[in-house]
Each structure stands twice: as structure tokens, then as C-alpha cells.
Structure 1
Amino acid sequence: MKIKNPVLPGFHSDPSIIRVKDTYYIANSTFEWFPGVRLHQSQDLVHWQLLPAPLSTTTLLDMKGNPSSGGIWAPDLSYADGKFWLVYTDVKVTEGAFKDMTNYLTTATDIRGPWTDPIKLNGVGFDASLFHDKDGRKYLLQQTWDHREYKQPFNGITLTEFDPKQMALIPQSARTIYSGTDVKLVEGPHLYRKDGYYYLFAAQGGTVFAHQEVVARAKTLAANAFVSEPDGPFITNFDTPDFYLQKQGHGALVDTPGGEWYYASLCSRPWHRQNESVHDPRGWSTLGRETAIQKVYWDEQGWPRIVGGHGGQIEVAAPKDAKETKSAPDHSRYDDFTTPTLDNNWNTLRVPFTPHMGNINAEQLKLIGHASLASTFDVSLIAQRWQAFNFDAQTKVHFNPFSYQQMAGLTNFYNDKHWSWIFITFDEKRGPVIEIAENNNGHYTSYLQDQAIQIPESATGVWFKTKVRTQTYSYAYSFDGQTWHDIDVQLDAAVLSDDYVLQTYGGFFTGAFIGLAAVDYAGYDQTATFDYFDYKELD
């Protein structure tokens, strides 16, 4: 078998990988999307099965009002003492001098939960991880944030001892163990022990095209004891601009039962317009930061290296002792809403799916219109990741608006300032109509305006479709589910990419989603009903 990268396509950033006996687990960041922390399992590192998300209640995660790309940053999954330990960060401020955040800890004896009520750890910095030493002592590592404008905000990696009896940190034990290299922006620490050394893996360079992972080691956990790997970095694509995978860096190390080593890293696959250089700009990452796995060997000096060089490989040899894991050939999905709860692929913004937002009843999804898609509060939207560059998605919606402030339909969504959709709304002269609109960096455009498509009174609902084709995407509609009418509006998919959002906003960490939404900012709770959702990959 071959590992084909990325192993988790679409928005799956900041992977934390572990092995428990013969099963591997990966935890990924979810930022403002609920439920918190994306989990997968595998026994071959090739095929991955989606598990229930651990942070599925407001007791464990309360993100109401969080900014876009706030919320869950770089969770850390570990296993010790017969249970899973999950450390996660809830970031409340993304822009400016401060990164107000709280780090929490929850545990479970089963990866599927239940997970214990969260324990507050601290707010020193994000990307916190828990290291379980061989002598039974435990330590929290984290990026350390410095708000002072005359200092480097990424103020090294702090290590603080954790008391497992009191289930609390020992603040007076805190010390900086590594300050990174001149690349700066050191973050995402994970600690391992091998052959008498502590090995510290950390990301640098920011999670952009200059991203990288460095390794340092020491024989003690004393302050500033760690020495960086010679001839580093460990992994990067900064100097491989023509390679299919880019931005590799932040991630975690894992060994196999047979003694092989692998590294799970975030990555991206930017595409380029025909008239653009592939070097500058390097492209547009509409699928966000994904997860890749590279094979690792240890050199004669005891340093870890990436097989094939620090740029990584697209195809990687699977473990010799891999047990084949069953999974679907692609991520195409069909949901006819026959179960009373949303399946694990659906996500909501900041808050869980509750009766306030809607319900599933009589094989239909009902969404109650609330705030606009430009809001960070009370948005009635369920969405799934784009996981391919080319796909079709469609739905059927029933909606009877009586105001132009009421809208419902199918959306392609990145964050509150970057999205578009095709939707049913109300025109004062013609009644219910179909419109297409886009929010591009907060600038709203209605594309059909006076040519909005009138819905005939005989219609039993409206079918909507989106066709995503790497660089552009479009919308179509039908009144019978058979005859489709393409609308001549080609939208730039780059607007839904990390790299585009980065131009104007410091929170650019997620990826494009496809979703169903209802809006009634008039405040009358007008409800939309959706019969099904079909996502079909074409790659």
C-alpha cells in the first residue's frame, strides 16, 4: 500500500497524531466550526475513518461571538494511564496585539467519549501539548504570546509541569526551553523521548508558504537546553515552490508497532491562474490546510529526517505491518436527513445545532432564519468541507419569504466576510425570486438584481446546484429537479482561499465549505426546509 498525500483532504490543519496499540488517531483544528476537534482513525495510515468530534457540548466548548478563525487552535491528543488526553485552545482574539485564549484539558477512556468536563489550564499561549514522561511526570508545552509591541510576539516555547493528582499546572515550574531559530514565529510544540534525548518538534515561519518544522534536542528539560537540528529544517516547502504539496510544517511524530516512524503535517495544494507565476504568488489554497504524512528515518547522529528530502513526497510507503482500513473511495456524500441528528460531516458556526437553529423531522432539514451570513452570532448554517477541487453539490429547498430580509439556499462559505450563495428571497413587485450574491472581503454584490428569477406559483420547491471547478464556480437552479438552468455568473474560487483572506485579515486558517443556510434578519424566524444534500466529487 502507498500513502497518497494529502491523506485528509480539505480543511484538516495542525494534525496531532498518536498510536494506541495497532490503531492511529489524528486530531485536527476546527477553529470557529462546531463541534470542536476533528478526529480520524486508521490502522494503515492510508485510509482514514471519521470519528465523532469530542467537543460536542457547550460545556466543553462555548464559542458564541468568537471571531472567524478563532476558537480551536492546534489540539493535542495523547494517550497515557489508560485514557486519552486532549488539550485544546479556545482563542477569543485573532487580530491586533493580543491573543486572548484559554487552554483546556479533557480526558476519555474511549476515543468516542464521553469526555470529561474541561479543566482550565492557563492562557500563556496557544498550541499547547501534553508530554507524559517515562518517570510519570507530565508537562505542558506551548507557544508563548507576548503582546508588547517592541518584542517578538512568539516568545519561545514554555514548559510547565502538570500535577496529575491535582489535575493542575504548577505555575512556578514554568520555563522557556526553546526560542527557535532566526526564522521566528516558533509555535506548535510536541515533545518526544528517544535514545536518551528529549526531541522537541516545533513549527516556524508562520502558516504560509514560508512555513517549516524544526527539531531540537536536549538531555534535560532545563531552561534553554535545546539545540537545533543541523542542516535543518526538518520539513518545509519554502525552497520547493514547484512541488505539488506546499506549506508543510506544523505536525506530530508517530512510530509503528514494527519500529518505523512517520510524521503527520499540515500542507496545502495551491492552484494557479494561467497568467500567474507558480512562484510568486504561489497560488490559492481553496481547500485550506490539509494533512499529509511523510516517512521519517534517523540519521547516524540521531536526528530525524524526512525520507526523500525535507520537501516531502506525494506517495509514501505505508507501514510494513499496516492492517488495511476500510474507507470510501472518495468523499462523495448523500444525506436525505432520515436520522434525527446531523451526521459527523456536518458543522455549524460557533454553536451546536439546537432547536433554536432548526431540526430534522419527517426526513427533512428545517432551518430557522436568524442573522445574516455576515454575522458571528446566531447564524443558521450547516456546512461541510470542500474536499476536492472539482465537485457538484445540490439540494432542494422550500421557502416562502415575505420580505427581502429573508433568504434561504445553498452557500459556498469561507468566513463571515468571504462567501456567496444562491437563494430564494422576496421581491416587492414579483414575490419570491432566485438571487445570487457574494460577500468579497465584506463588500456585498447582488448579481441578478432586477433580473432575479421569478419562482412560478406552481413550483413545489426549488432545486439549487453549485458546480465548483478549481479556479471558478457557478450556480444553477431547477423547478422540477430534472431540467437545470445554469446562471451565467462565474465566481472566483480564490476568494474562498486562505491566501486571499490573508491579504486583509489575520485569521486565514480554515478553508472553503459548502452549506445550507437560512436568514431572517427581520427577526420573524421564517423557516426553510431542505429535502436532501448531495455532494459528488469529480476529481
Structure 2
Amino acid sequence: MIRNPILPGFNPDPSFIRVGKTYYIATSTFEWYPGVRIYRSTDLANWEFCAAPLDRAGLLDMRGNPDSCGVWAPCLSHADGRFWLVYTDVKRFDGAFKDAHNYITTCEAIDGRWSDPVYVNSSGFDPSLFHDSDGRKWFLNMQWNHRGKGTGGNPAHASFDGILLQQWHPARGLVGPVTNIWPGTKRGLTEAPHLFRRGGWYYLTTAEGGTGYGHAVSMARARNICGPYESHPDLHLMTAADAPDHPIQRTGHGQYVETPDGEVWHTFLMGHPIPGPDGQGRFCPLGRETGIERCVWRDDGWLYLEGGSLLARTEVPAKAESHDDRKAVEYDFTAPLHSDFQWLRTPEPTRIFRINDGALTLIGRESLGSWFEQALVARRQQHLRYRAETVVAFDPQTYQQAAGLTTYYNRHKFHALVVTHEPGFGRALSILSCPGDWPDAALFAPLDQPVPIPEGPVHLAVEVDHAQQRFFWRKGEAWHQIGPTLDASVISDEGGRGEHGSFTGAFVGMVAFDITGQGREARFSRFSYAPE
């Protein structure tokens, strides 16, 4: 039995391939570094992390990228004895424009050093590369239209102006005419194109409806790669848009794969929402996760979900059994940094942290939420209930220096328990919180006053239980709660700006800042994450 999600926590936009008997999924990382996360499996049920290809400045530099920009919707493929990765680096989020630059990098081994990128175009995002059986390669991406309502090819949303197709050659780049092959269905917001070929047809799958609760996987086909394309009889292969009580929501954006014995599967991104602390609303603190469904081909030559509806299942019958992932993890800080952890935007991690003497030392840089150089090292929240702990040694000299433990989504959505220095209190604990205040990112202080602490390392902890979270600290044996119970649901896609305003997921980790510019250092000797 396969249990969805197969990749819990922030793992969206799954590009799915098979090479021999091994399956690979590549997911978006947005502003988190290194860029793109690739997982592998031999049974479709259990997946392990294997690579983060965009790991140097020549491949990716996101300093200055706004929240939820960066690496959108990679496409992984394999041809000519090597892996091919197509990705977008989005530089602008708000307003009529999207500055989205598309690149290709390759590598013979999935976990090797990937080639310097080849720039392709900037006409839209969610690019993919299709390797046809005649040896030609075709580049696809959605076309972004900045001109406003009534100017695009799909009336549902003018900005998403169809799927572009053009031949691409490794030596010559883009060649031949650009063809807009499909405007999408009436659902609109057509993006994330993937092509495959079967039985004399070219099949096109796309995501539609936006990446919120109207999301869908849509499908079309044509005899000629350039079209014309006809839409699926049901328009969509899967969607939960009309089933708000279904446990899996936001289904869309995935890719098709056949197994060696002829089974057919399709990945999808998904969310499983929880209500807020008042019992109202829908919030996905784990972000957009990856699921998988078995499909069938019917006599009409179209693909359908095996279950017969448009709804993806939480449990899918399979030969393999999904392992229980609720295991506590104790991280020892030995180089290199454990692959569970990522940081934000910069290709120069030595500017913000180092690992030595069994500890992670963060070098305080810009403010919590900076788009340039923020010393924050964190891992995904992958469970609705968990406890995380750390120990920090930090000797701040001013309130402009702080270090501690944070639950973090972006500059508008975080809670942080920090060691700082407060006039009249000296070295003290404080809580910094931005509970979804968009666009101002106003800072709130849930504590009535700072809590003075003696010298030496201090233990910090956070417990999250669905929509609530609590911070704790200790210097001796006993833990003490500090501050009120906080709203954890705001550390989610929907928190603050709403479901279409941010696209990553909740992280928990270690942070330090020094806005005096002196680079005050904080030493973290341990970190643990324990699902409950």
C-alpha cells in the first residue's frame, strides 16, 4: 500500500521519470538553497533524497529574489546517456510582469557535478524538455502575458497565455518557429506542460486552476507535436476542486510514467489542510507535498485515474508498503551539512555558517526575513505534530543581535524564540513574531517583557500541534514554557496573504542576525526533530 503523500512537507511540482528500474522525482525549492531536490525509489512507495543539483553560483544565485520566487517547477528527464534538468529562476513576484529565466543543466550521474547552465528563454515559467523518438528535442513553457484582462488566449485568466513549443538543439539552442500549441481548458491558469508519446499520439499534461483549491491536472492530445490538440473528455485527469471535504486537496501539477511491466502512474502536488486555532479556515502548514496515483488507459485512448473519479486516494494499492516516517532525528553537526537542512538564497554559505568542532556556527548577517543574506538554517516541517530542540551559545552585546529557534515560512510568517540583549535586562530571551502581516511585515512581541537568563548555553524547544505552537527553554533540568500559545496555522501557504500569495511550506530551524554589521556568531551544538 502506498500512502500519500509520498514526499511529505514542502515538496511541490513533482517531475517524475524512470531510468531502468529506478524512479526519480525532482521538486521545486523556490528561494531555498541549494536549488531543486531530487529523490529516488525502486518501489514507488519509499523515497530517499539523492541530489540537490543547483549548488553553486554559476547555476543559481537568488540573492534579492522575493519570497516565493527562485526555482519554480523543474523538469527532470534522461536521454543520450545523461540526466537533463530544466528550471526557472523567477526574479519578480508582484505586479503585471514575471521575470522568469529558463535554463538547462545536465549530468551523467544524478548525484554528480551538474554542468554550467545553458540559458534558453524568458517568455514564461514551468519549462520542460521533451526528447522525441526521432532524436529531436522540444522546449515547452507557459507564456506569460503582462497586458491584462481580455488580451490573452484563455479568457479565464489572460496572464496565462497558452503553452509554447519550440525545437531546441544542444549546440544551436532554440531553432525554428514558436508555436502556441494549447490555450488550456475553461479552468484557465494553464501551466506546467509535460509531453509524452504513446500509440501515435502526443499527450500533453498541464496544471490548471492555480495552485490553490481549484488546482487540477489537465490533459490534451494531438497526432502532430505542433497540434492541433484536443482536450480530455473530462478535461482533467484529477482535481479536488469540487470536493472540499476530501482529505487530499489542491491536486495538480505532476507527470506520467510507465513501469517496466506496463503499469502507469502519475505524480501530483497536494495539500492536506487543517483548520485554524479557532476551528475555521483551511491551512496547509506542510505546504504543497507530492503524491502519486495509479492510472489506466481506456479504450478511447485517454488516461484516467484507476479509482474511476477525479479524486486522488490517500492509500493506493501497490506491491510495496510505505514505511512509517515518524522517527525522531538527532542531528550531529559534522561536515557536510545534513541534506535535510537548507538555507535561503545565497550561493555563498560560508558567509552565513560553518561546521566545526561538532557544532553549527551561524554568522549573524541581515535581518530575519532578508531577501539577500540571512543566516537561517532549517529543515522542513513534515508532520502536523512535532517537537524540535536546539542548544545555542550566544553572547549578544545589543538588542540588534539575536540568535535562536524559529518556525519560518517567509518574512511575513514566522515565530522566533531568540537570545538577545535588552537594555535593563541584559542577556535575555525574547519572542519575535510576524503572524502573516502582509504587506507590511510588522513585528509583534508576544512576551510581556524579556526573560533574563544567565551566561552559558541555553536549551530552546518548540512544540507544534496542528494549528498551535509553544516555545520552551531551560538552563537546568526543567523545561519552562515561555510566552503564550501561538498561531501555527499562519506558518502556512494560506496564512496572511492567502492561498495564491506564497508557495513554499513551514520550516523549523536555527537563526542568527546581527544588524550592527559586525557578524556576531552563535554556536548551535545540537538540533533534534521528533514527530509525535
Q: With structure 1 as the length reference, what TM-score do the two structures score?
A: 0.94
Residues in 2 aligned to 1:88 and 1:501: alpha-carbon distance in whole angstroms: 28
Please tell me whether residue 285 in structure 1 is matched to residue 291 in structure 2.
no
The alpha-carbon distance between structure 1 residues 361 and 353, as it changes in their structure 2 partners (threshold 3 A), is farther
| Selected match of 2:495 from 485, 500, 509 | 500
Find the counterpart in structure 2 of residue 310 from structure 1: 310
Amino acid at match of 1:159: L
Pair 1:290–1:331, CA change in 2 (3 A): farther
What's the secondary structure of 1:248's corresponding residue?
A: strand
Structure 2 distance, partners of 1:394, 1:261, is 42
Aligned residue for 1:13?
12
CA contact (8 A) 2:6 2:45 kept: yes
- Alpha-carbon distance in 2 for matches of 1:485, 1:367: 25
The equivalent residue for 1:181 is 185
Show the counterpart of 2:461.
465
Residue aligned with 2:233, SS: coil
C-alpha separation between the residues in 1 aligned to 2:360 and 2:279? 42
Residue aligning to 1:360: 355
1:240 correspondence with 2:240: no
1:446-461 matches, within 5 Å, as 446-449=445-448, 451-457=449-455, 460-461=456-457
> CA offset at residue 506 of structure 1?
5.3
Which residue does 1:514 correspond to in 2?
508
8 Å CA contact retained: 1:268, 1:290:
yes
Q: Return the alpha-carbon distance in structure 2 between the equivalents of residues 430 and 409 of structure 1.
A: 18
**Residue 202 (structure 1) aligned to one of 202, 206, 209:** 206
Q: Match for 1:205: what amino acid?
A: G
On the 8 A contact 1:212/1:233 being kept in 2, the answer is yes
Distance (Å, rounded) in 2 between the aligned partners of 1:431 and 1:274:
34
The residue that corresponds to 2:528 in the other structure is 534
User: Is 1:256 the counterpart of 2:254 in the alignment?
Assistant: no
In structure 1, how many angstroms separate the alpha carbons of the residues matched to 2:89 and 2:226? 29
Q: Report the counterpart of residue 325 of structure 2 in structure 1.
A: 329
1:401 to 386, 391, 396: 396
Q: Report what 1:343 is aligned to.
A: 338
Tell me the CA shift for residue 341 of structure 1.
1.9
1:370-385 correspondence runs (5 A): 370-385=365-380
- The question of whether the paired residues in 2 share the 8 Å contact of 1:331 and 1:387 is answered with no
Question: What code does the residue aligned with 1:398 have?
Answer: A
Q: Does the Cα contact within 8 Å between 1:501 and 1:508 map onto a contact in 2?
A: no
1:213-255 superposed Cα distances (whole Å, 9 cap, x missing partner): 11100000235x0000012311000111111100001110111
CA contact (8 A) 1:70 1:507 kept: no
Q: Which amino acid aligns with 1:473?
A: Q
- Counterpart of 2:482 (choices 484, 487, 507) is 487
Specify the code of the residue in structure 2 equivalent to 1:316.
Answer: V
User: What is the DSSP-based 3-state SS (H/G/I as helix, E as strand, rest coil) of the residue aligned with 1:355?
Assistant: helix
Indicate the residue corresponding to 1:222 in structure 2. Answer: 226
Q: CA deviation at 1:98?
A: 0.4
Task: Give the partner amino acid of 1:464.
Answer: L
TM-aligned CA deviation for residue 38 of structure 1: 0.8
- Tell whether the 8 Å contact from 1:94 to 1:506 is kept in structure 2 after alignment: no
Distance in 2 (alpha carbons) for counterparts of 1:9 and 1:353: 28
Give the equivalent residue in structure 1 for 2:72.
73
Could you report, residue by residue, the CA deviation over 1:30-56 in whole angstroms, capped at 9, with x for unpaired residues?
000000001100000100011120111
2:155 is aligned to none
Distance 1:232 1:456 in 2: 64
Amino acid at match of 1:454: P
Whether 2:162 is the aligned partner of 1:162: answer no
Give the deviation of 1:328 after TM superposition: 7.1
| Number of the residue aligned with 2:124 | 125
Task: Give the deviation of 1:447 after TM superposition.
Answer: 1.8
Residue 105 (structure 2) pairs with residue 106 (structure 1): yes
CA distance in 2, matches of 1:397, 1:123: 44
- Residues 277 and 489 in structure 2, CA contact (< 8 A), matched pair in contact too: no
Q: Note if contact 1:296-1:307 (Cα within 8 Å) is conserved in structure 2.
A: yes
Contact 1:68 1:507 in 2 (8 A): no
1:430, distance to aligned residue in structure 2 (A): 2.0
* TM-superposed deviation, 1:507: 4.1
CA 1:430–1:274 in structure 2 vs 1: closer, same or farther (change >3 Å)?
closer
User: Retained in 1: the 8 A contact 2:447–2:483?
Assistant: no
Count of residue correspondences: 520
- The residue aligned with 2:135 is 136
Aligned-residue offset at 1:487? 1.9
Q: Is the 8 A contact 2:276 2:489 kept in 1?
A: no
Amino acid at match of 2:210: G
* Residues 155 and 179 in structure 1, CA contact (< 8 A), matched pair in contact too: yes
Name the CA distance, whole Å, in 2 between partners of 1:353 and 1:43. Answer: 34
Note if contact 1:95-1:506 (Cα within 8 Å) is conserved in structure 2.
no
Rounded Cα–Cα distance in structure 1 between residues aligned with 2:326 and 2:45: 13
Shift in Å, 1:276: 4.7
SS in 2 for 1:411: strand
Amino acid at match of 1:157: I
Deviation at 1:499, TM superposition (A): 1.2
Secondary structure class of the residue paired with 2:249? coil
C-alpha RMSD over aligned residues: 1.5
Query: What's 1:478 paired with?
Result: 474
CA contact (8 A) 1:95 1:507 kept: no
Q: 2:275 aligned with 1:272, yes or no? A: yes
Cα gap change, 1:501 to 1:25, in 2 (>3 Å) = farther
SS in 2 for 1:147: coil
Aligned residue type for 1:92: K
Q: CA offset at residue 356 of structure 1? A: 1.5
Cα distance in 1, alignment partners of residues 244 and 401 from structure 2: 46
Q: In the TM superposition, what is the alpha-carbon distance from 1:182 to its structure 2 partner?
A: 1.2
Deviation at 1:351, TM superposition (A): 1.1
User: What CA distance in whole angstroms lies between the structure 2 residues aligned with 1:344 and 1:274?
Assistant: 32
Distance (Å, rounded) in 2 between the aligned partners of 1:209 and 1:358: 38
Partner Cα separation in structure 2 for residue 259 and residue 501 of structure 1:
45
1:201 & 1:501 partners in 2: Cα distance? 31
Distance 1:142 1:332 in 2: 41
3-state secondary structure, aligned to 2:489: helix
Distance 1:330 1:40 in 2: 18
Matched AA of 2:255: A
Residue identity over aligned pairs, in percent, reads: 42
* In structure 1, C-alpha distance between the alignment counterparts of 2:64 and 2:277, rounded to whole Å: 39
Structure 2 Cα separation of the partners of residues 226 and 421 of structure 1: 51
CA contact (8 A) 1:94 1:507 kept: no
Match of 1:519, as an amino acid?
Answer: F
- 1:420-444 deviations in whole A, cap 9, x for unaligned? 1101000111210001120122121
| Higher mean displacement: 260-269 or 517-526 | 517-526
Q: Residue 159 of structure 2 is aligned with which of 153, 156, 159?
A: 153
In 1, the alpha carbon distance for the partners of 2:77 and 2:125 equals 17
Asked if the contact 2:212/2:500 (under 8 Å) is kept, the reply is: no
Contact 1:474 1:491 survives alignment (8 Å):
yes
